[in-house]
Structure 1
Amino acid sequence: MKDLHRILNEITQLTTRIETDYPELYRSLDENPMTLPVSKHPHMDKVVMQEYLQSLKQLLEHYIDEHKAEKS
């Protein structure tokens, strides 16, 4: 359970960083309450959340790399 809590904290910190430092990227995440699962018990375990965290990290890394290349 502590691992899941740590992952959720990392997701929160990363999305807050994206929202603050890269608002144009944050808008493209398209995350809002309307996109949350509607089923009563969606499958959201540690593995799923870890994969989501990794995808956010990759998205941010790719975005930063692209913008560094554009400025060069």
Structure 2
Amino acid sequence: MENLGTVLSEITRLTYTIESDYPELYRFLDETPMTIPSDAHPTIDLHTLKDYLEGLQQMLKHYLETHSLS
């Protein structure tokens, strides 16, 4: 089972990869729905962070599939 530190490390690693390797995609990170909470006092827990990580992974996967160099 993943813990909070592991998920945060993976988010940091993936965000750095996007920033350094795909700067054109990096600007969209501020616009993801996960970064715009609808609650006045959102709860940030392991489940929320795992959802955010999955969203980052899906965004990068979609970008790579639609912007292939072939």
Common fold: TM-score over 0.5: yes
Aligned-CA RMSD value: 2.1
- Structure 1 gap segments, 5+ residues each: none
- Relative to the length of structure 2, the TM-score reads 0.79
Write the deviation string for residues 2-56 of structure 1: whole angstroms up to 9, x where unpaired. 701000000000000000000000011127xxx676x6x6300000000000000
Give 1:46's aligned residue: 46
The whole-number CA distance in structure 1 between the counterparts of 2:28 and 2:11 is 16
- Structure 2 gap segments, 5+ residues each: none
Partner SS state of residue 42, structure 1 = coil
Matches within 5 A, 1:1-72: 3-30=3-30, 42-68=42-68, 71-72=69-70
Which AA in structure 1 matches 2:9? N
Structure 1 runs (4+) greater than 4 angstroms displaced: none
Between the two proteins, the alignment pairs up a number of residues equal to 65
